[in-house]
């Protein structure tokens, strides 16, 4: 795992929170919810890729 992954996740979180606040203040709560769900899905895609790499490393270590 690299520090860039943590920075990407933090950047996405910051961007999503700003967009959600702007949309909420303008009365578009449904769109703010969709933006937050999209942010969660993007972060989960990053984490799934890293988790897959971890599982492959464990398999290679134990010879499975």
Q: What is the pLDDT of residue 64?
A: 75
| CA-based torsion, 56, 58, 61, 63: positive or negative | negative
- pLDDT tens digits, the chain, 64 residues: what are they? 679 989 999 999 999 999 999 999 999 999 999 999 999 999 999 999 889 988 999 999 988 7
Which of the 8 DSSP states describes residue 2?
-
Separation between Cα atoms, residue 27 and residue 36, nearest integer Å = 15
0.85 exceeded by pTM: no
Are residues 8 and 2 in contact, defined by beta-carbon separation less than 8 angstroms?
Answer: no
pLDDT at 1: 62
Look up the domain containing 54 and give its range.
3-62
The total number of structural domains that make up the chain: 1
């Amino acid at each position: 795992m690299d520090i860039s992954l943590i920075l990407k996740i933090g950047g996405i979180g910051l961007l999503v929170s700003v967009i959600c606040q702007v949309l909420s203040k303008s009365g578009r709560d449904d769109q703010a919810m969709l933006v937050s769900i999209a942010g969660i899905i993007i972060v989960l895609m990053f984490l799934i890729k890293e988790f897959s790499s971890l599982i492959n490393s464990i398999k290679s270590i134990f010879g499975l």
